[in-house]
């Protein structure tokens, strides 16, 4: 059941102690967040290193392929050249023989020479085609090698950008956490860190100390579900940033009347030893928005 906590029994010494305790929590929380960022950076660095290694291997493979293409091209060119030279010699000999013959023999010799000339022309065309294909393959392989080099450069740049982004994120998170405030809730219990806007709420989520559920609640007849509880908006006062709600949990309803923005509205559930906190960051006509902070550890209270 929801159980209220009386604030009248709280002394000034307990308030000071709670405040010191709340401030002391910032150091281990911040240290944990920084460790998480460092871990993420190391993991990402190794991932990028693997990519760079793969790209380097691809580049070496492409250079080897280009070398093989050049060797094949040289052998093919030499073979084709020898065949063309042989055909030229045969054709020249046939034409010379035809010029010395007469009658049908001359006709036959001339025909043979023409056939050799046609074969020579075909051979030369095929040789030119093969040279062109080899040149095209070599150019494609060279382009792939250049692309691999470019990719390696891009990955190196990405590594530098990631390091810069992580450093910037770490600095921004430290600054945001330092700006967060800790205060007492409406039940007199020392609250954790309170977020007053979306940026600060993201910082709290990054710390991972509690579970956070964002909400926007308008005026309705029935309570609206928010995490483990339900909330019914009864009244808003945008001019003075005040609101009144009913909190429904453990089959019980408790009215929270004339609460202000950024004030931790606290209540206890039977399954948790720490209080739930509802924080409203904005009050408009018939509409409130904010977040519900719930303890991660859920257990029965004695």
Tens-digit pLDDT profile for residues 178-237: 555 555 555 555 556 788 888 888 888 888 888 999 999 999 999 999 998 999 999 999
9-45: per-residue pLDDT in tens? 443 344 344 444 444 555 566 666 667 777 777 777 7
For 114-128, 170-184, 234-248, which range has the lowest pLDDT when averaged over its residues? 170-184
Mean pLDDT (the chain, rounded) = 75
| pLDDT score of 6 | 38
Measured CA to CA, the distance from residue 248 to residue 1 in angstroms comes to: 10
Single pTM value for the model: 0.45
**Residues with Cβ within 8 Å of residue 83, at least 6 apart in sequence:** 123
Which of 92, 98, 83 is closest to 117 using CA atoms? Answer: 92
Parallel/antiparallel/unpaired status of strands 276-284 and 229-237: unpaired
pLDDT, mean of residues 89-107: 69
| pLDDT score of 9 | 40
User: In the chain, what is the greatest distance between 2 CA atoms, to the nearest angstrom?
Assistant: 137
Instruction: Give the domains, in start order, of the chain with CATH numbers.
Output: 43-177 (1.10.287), 183-295 (2.60.98)
Residues belonging to the chain? 302
Query: Following CA atoms 155, 159, 164, 170 in sequence, which dihedral angle do they give, to the nearest 10 degrees?
Result: 130
145-161: per-residue pLDDT in tens? 677 667 666 666 666 66
């Amino acid at each position: 059941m929801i159980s209220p906590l009386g604030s009248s029994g709280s002394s000034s010494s307990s308030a000071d102690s709670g405040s010191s305790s709340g401030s002391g929590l910032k150091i281990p929380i911040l240290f944990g967040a920084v460790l998480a960022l460092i871990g993420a950076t190391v993991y990402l660095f190794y991932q990028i290193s693997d990519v760079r290694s793969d790209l380097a291997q691809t580049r070496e493979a492409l250079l080897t392929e280009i070398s093989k293409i050049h060797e094949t091209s040289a052998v093919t060119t030499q073979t084709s050249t020898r065949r063309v030279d042989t055909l030229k010699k045969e054709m020249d000999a046939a034409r010379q023989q035809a010029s010395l013959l007469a009658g049908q023999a001359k006709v036959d010799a001339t025909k043979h020479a023409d056939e050799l000339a046609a074969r020579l022309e075909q051979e030369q065309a095929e040789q030119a085609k093969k040279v062109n294909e080899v040149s095209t393959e070599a150019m494609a392989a060279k382009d792939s090698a250049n692309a691999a080099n470019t990719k390696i450069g891009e990955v190196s740049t990405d590594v530098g950008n990631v390091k810069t982004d992580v450093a910037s994120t770490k600095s921004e998170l430290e600054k945001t956490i330092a700006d967060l405030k800790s205060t007492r809730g409406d039940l007199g219990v020392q609250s954790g860190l309170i977020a007053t806007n979306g940026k600060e709420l993201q910082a709290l989520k990054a710390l991972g100390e509690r579970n956070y559920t964002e909400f926007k609640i308008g005026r309705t007849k029935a309570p609206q579900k928010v995490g483990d509880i339900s909330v019914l908006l009864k009244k808003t006062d945008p001019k003075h940033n005040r609101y009144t709600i009913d909190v429904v949990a453990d089959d019980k309803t408790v009215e929270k009347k004339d609460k202000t923005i950024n004030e931790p509205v606290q209540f206890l559930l039977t399954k948790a030893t720490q209080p739930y906190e509802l924080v409203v960051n904005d009050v408009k006509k018939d509409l409130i928005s904010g977040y519900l902070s719930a303890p991660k550890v859920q257990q029965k209270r004695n």
